[in-house]
Amino acid sequence: MSAKTYQVRTYGCQMNVHDSERLAGLLEDAGYVRAPQDAEVADVVVFNTCAVRENADNRLYGNLGRLAPKKADRPGMQIAVGGCLAQKDRDTIVRRAPWVDVVFGTHNIGSLPVLLERARVRQEAQVEIAESLETFPSTLPTRRESAYAAWVSISVGCNNTCTFCIVPALRGKEKDRRPGDILAEIEALVAEGVTEVTLLGQNVNAYGSDIGDREAFSKLLRACGKVEGLERVRFTSPHPRDFTDDVIAAMAETENVMPQLHMPLQSGSDRVLKAMRRSYRQERYLGIIEKVRAAIPDAAISTDIIVGFPGETEEDFEQTLHVVREARFAQAFTFQYSKRPGTPAAEMDGQVPKEVVQERYERLVALQEEISWEENKKQVGRTLEVMVAEGEGRKDGATRRLSGRAPDNRLVHFTRPEEPVRPGDMATVEVSYAAPHHLLAEGPVLGVRRTRAGDAWERRTAAPEPKGVMLGLPTVGVPEPLPAAPDGCRTC
Ligand code: SF4
């Protein structure tokens, strides 16, 4: 009898992508195999949901509605719903979609295989939501998306209470992993060929508050610097309130910590930041940017901005534009505010009319586009070592270029070299042209460095996918920078 197939559909932030790799690992450990990418359905379809935006619900129930007839035609097929919307809606999901077999939450993703089995045996839906974290997801088996880059979760949950955000209600208070566990996972990953890790948390630089060490995050960055074979370290997302000088020093003094920082601003207006309960103000934010640039002159800084937060006036918005002009972000993920039921902001007076939000949003995007392009133009003539990305690259007329990420995470399209180059290998190129959202290196590649990451990618594509090594220390997947989830929930 052939193995049952599975499909995990992921919505929302990097934390969900990380969790989906665990869900895939759990299912493969239970004997399921991944359904082909283009398969419409599978024997088990898992929705790993996001709850950040108003229509997140509509989207889920719409998808579940479309699956109902397919399930009716496929005896034994099971549907499971997990993630933030499941944590919020619980048994409402099986009431609204009684063809769903399993509902599990953000704190008990490890229960999925057992719940699927129980639903099958008992022929009834299983709804199991834990109020607090049962097992640190990082200890669960995993099925990585990439052979050479990985997410490493350092904490879950958040102690902040931003008034537009539902995350603390659905992912709970911050829980930190022990530094030793994190470093052991990183060393196991590097042993498997991973050369880039992204440290992940709702609020990474608050790391340590749960284990009583305020400098734990900068110490962790420095410790990553000592991991032999680890070429690139990134992290997402920090919070400006907790962004301290020891972190800036660790970034500047640790060679494999990349010159890239994503730091959500959300608004440039002190009055709006107060209403958002973001506990920092414009001056502090710009002060951090200044310190980072002084310590790491070629750092690429990106951000998240919400336009149209309740009560935002034209003067407030002008303050946001002012910070954008001052900060000169390489990139900004910009969002139009939308109510999130269950958040304090949803009940606030002064909800800004849609057309006003739209008009401001367009002004902000236009300004940032200009700045991104000007900042990219400064890269022309620079020689960069680019980590070659998976995938087809980009077609420029008749030329198909390869793509990759520079140390500062800028996207670079470059000419395919004569010699073979694999995803995960490093290519040295000279930037010849800048566009608003990518760089081009049209000249010949100046050098190719074959890496263990490239070897790992070759091993993976050559052989059938091995399962995660069950050391309690997973092997993991692919951090491509995701388009931010709406309303700034890029896990922060
Ligand atoms: S926006 Fe980020 S920092 Fe604020 S509550 Fe949500 S997850 Fe926490």
Q: Encode the chain (492 residues) as per-residue pLDDT tens digits.
A: 688 999 999 998 889 999 999 999 999 999 999 998 788 889 999 999 998 755 778 889 999 999 999 999 998 999 999 999 999 999 999 999 999 999 999 999 999 999 999 999 999 999 999 988 877 888 899 999 899 999 999 999 999 999 999 888 888 999 999 999 999 999 999 999 999 999 999 999 999 988 899 999 999 999 999 999 999 999 999 999 999 999 999 999 999 999 999 999 999 999 999 999 999 999 999 999 999 999 999 999 999 999 999 999 999 999 999 999 999 999 999 999 988 888 999 999 999 999 999 999 999 999 999 999 999 999 999 999 999 998 767 777 777 789 999 999 999 999 999 899 999 999 999 999 999 999 999 999 999 999 999 999 999 888 765 544 333 333 333 334 434 444 444 444
Q: Is the CB of 278 under 6 A from ligand 1?
A: no
Q: How confident is the model at residue 53, as a pLDDT?
A: 57
Residue nearest to atom 3 of ligand 1 (CA): 492
Class of domain 5-128: alpha beta
The first and second tokens of residue 179, run together, are: 């530094």
Q: Three-state SS for 298?
A: coil
Indicate if ligand 1 lies below 6 Å from the C-beta of 84. Answer: no
Q: Which of 50, 158, 279, 337 gets mutated to test ligand 1 (max ligand atoms within 8 A of its CB)?
A: 158
Closest CA to 261 of 290, 282, 283: 290
Quick one: CA dihedral 376, 380, 385, 387, positive or negative?
positive
Task: Please tell me the predicted confidence (pLDDT) of residue 342.
Answer: 85
Q: Which tens digit of pLDDT belongs to each residue from 229-268? A: 999 999 999 999 999 999 999 999 999 999 999 999 999 9
C-alpha dihedral, 286 to 290 to 292 to 297, nearest 10°: 140
Q: What is the pLDDT of residue 465?
A: 53
Half-sphere exposure of 325 (CA within 13 A, CB side): 7
pLDDT tens digits, 149-164: 999 999 999 999 999 9
Residue 202 CA, closest ligand 1 atom number? 7
- Which secondary-structure segment (H or E) carries 387? strand 383-388
Instruction: Tell which one of 15, 50, 156, 162 to mutate to probe ligand 1, the residue whose CB is within 8 A of the most ligand atoms.
Output: 162
- With a 6 Å cutoff on the Cβ, whether 202 touches ligand 1 is yes
CB 32 within 8 A of CB 44: yes
| CA–CA dist 364, 325 (Å, integer) | 10
**pLDDT given at position 436:** 94
- Phi/psi at 302 (5° precision): -125, 170
| Distances from the Cα of 207 to the Cα of 36, 185, 428, 462, angstroms | 38, 17, 35, 39
Exposed / middle / buried, residue 268 (Cβ in 10 Å: 0-12, 13-18, 19+): buried
How far the first Cα of the chain sits from its last, in Å, is 45
Q: How far is the CA of 99 from the centre of ligand 1 (A)?
A: 33
Q: What's the gap in Å between 327 CA and the centre of ligand 1?
A: 22
Ligand 1 centroid – CA 337 distance (Å): 15
Distance 457 CA to ligand 1 centre (A): 35
Q: Which atom of ligand 1 is nearest to the CA of 171?
A: 7
CATH code assigned to 144-376: 3.80.30.20
Ligand 1 neighbour 203 (Cβ under 6 A): yes
Please say whether the dihedral angle defined by the alpha carbons of residues 334, 339, 344 and 347, taken in this order, is positive or negative: positive
| CATH code at 383-462 | 2.40.50
Q: Tell which one of 167, 205, 263, 273 to mutate to probe ligand 1, the residue whose CB is within 8 A of the most ligand atoms.
A: 167
| CB of 102 sitting under 6 A from ligand 1 | no
* Closest ligand 1 atom, residue 159 Cα: 8
Give the Å distances, CA to CA, from 362 to 262, 321, 338, 366. 22, 12, 16, 6
Q: Is 344 in the pocket of ligand 1 (CB under 6 A)?
A: no
* Distance between CA atoms of residues 164 and 161, nearest Å: 8
The contacts of residue 465 (CB under 8 Å, 6+ apart) are 28, 34, 143
Q: Is the CB of 80 under 6 A from ligand 1?
A: no
Size of the chain, expressed as the number of residues it contains: 492
Gap from CA of 295 to ligand 1 centroid (Å):
27
Using the mean position of ligand 1's atoms as its centre, give its distance from the Cα of residue 445 in Å.
42
Query: Is the minimum distance from the CB of 168 to ligand 1 under 6 angstroms?
Result: yes
Q: Report which ligand 1 atom has the smallest distance to the Cα of 164.
A: 1
Mutational test site, ligand 1, from 165, 241, 272, 276, max ligand atoms within 8 Å of CB: 165
What is the CA(338)–ligand 1 centre distance, in A? 16
CA of 159 to the centre of ligand 1 (A): 8
Q: Whose CA is nearest to atom 4 of ligand 1?
A: 162
Residue whose CA lies nearest to ligand 1 atom number 1: 492
Ligand 1 centroid vs 162 CA: distance in angstroms?
6
